[in-house]
Amino acid sequence: EPEVTQTPSHQVTQMGQEVILRCVPISNHLYFYWYRQILGQKVEFLVSFYNNEISEKSEIFDDQFSVERPDGSNFTLKIRSTKLEDSAMYFCASREGQYTDTQYFGPGTRLTVL
Amino acid sequence: GEDVEQSLFLSVREGDSSVINCTYTDSSSTYLYWYKQEPGAGLQLLTYIFSNMDMKQDQRLTVLLNKKDKHLSLRIADTQTGDSAIYFCAVSRPGNTPLVFGKGTRLSVIA
């Protein structure tokens, strides 16, 4: 069964460093999302992406964050200058299309900022 | 904005039924989901229901929706130790809208 994949599974970085989290959505899906989950807290929406542009973003998704679909398969989340509070599990999700609203999630990348 | 609430903990004995409850505030929420998260793992879609349905059954899982009260529940029949996990309720409006999650209910199954 097709699934969303994410790499790396765990990333450790120093505060102020840039990180890029990678996702490969399900191949025929058109809508892509990033969510994050700080340890013990709710899963929070960051950004949605469709047709090579951001559809919607939350207050969390400030200028330090960016997303890109550099080729036909990858979907990336970049954090330009990481802060301690960026430590969280980051989930990528994808959705097939206009008439299918179910979002399928990847296994997540655990980001630890030291 | 939308708010989704769940009780944080539920403990049941193996073989009993578990009922996990969820309430939401936005009456235009059309799609309602249950996700399961095992320790250290991602979010596994368990089941979902559309707002024009009252009930959906899928093997051991039964989802009940009371749209008037904006109340969603997930019943797991014959709960097994492998069902121990955090269960998230999530809702969304039609179209390309983000999911809004509850805080999750940690289900502990006692053998």
Tens digit of each residue's pLDDT (9 = 90 or more) over A3-47? 899 999 999 999 999 999 999 999 989 999 999 999 888 899 999
Question: Among candidates B35, B61, B37, which has minimal Cα distance to B46?
Answer: B35
> Among B41, B96, B102, whose Cβ lies nearest the Cβ of A50?
B96
Q: B67 CB contacts (<8 Å, ≥6 apart)? A: B27, B51, B54
Average pLDDT for B30-59: 90
Is the pLDDT at B83 greater than 70? The verdict is yes
Quick one: pLDDT at residue A98? 65
Question: Dihedral sign, CA of B110, B41, B32, B58?
Answer: negative
**CB contacts, 8 Å: B98 with chain A:** 33, 35, 45, 48, 56, 58
For chain A, the average pLDDT equals: 93
Nearest Cα residue in chain B from A55: B96
What's the rounded Cα separation, in Å, for the pair B104 and B43? 11
Interface A-B: count of C-beta contacts within 8 A? 53
Distance from CA of A15 to the nearest CA of B (A): 23
Quick one: pLDDT at residue B27? 81
**CB contacts, 8 Å: A55 with chain B:** 96
Long-range contacts of B59-67 (CB under 8 A, 24+ apart): B61/B34, B63/B32, B63/B34, B65/B32, B67/B27
Is the pLDDT at A72 greater than 90? The verdict is no
Is the pLDDT at A1 greater than 80? The verdict is no
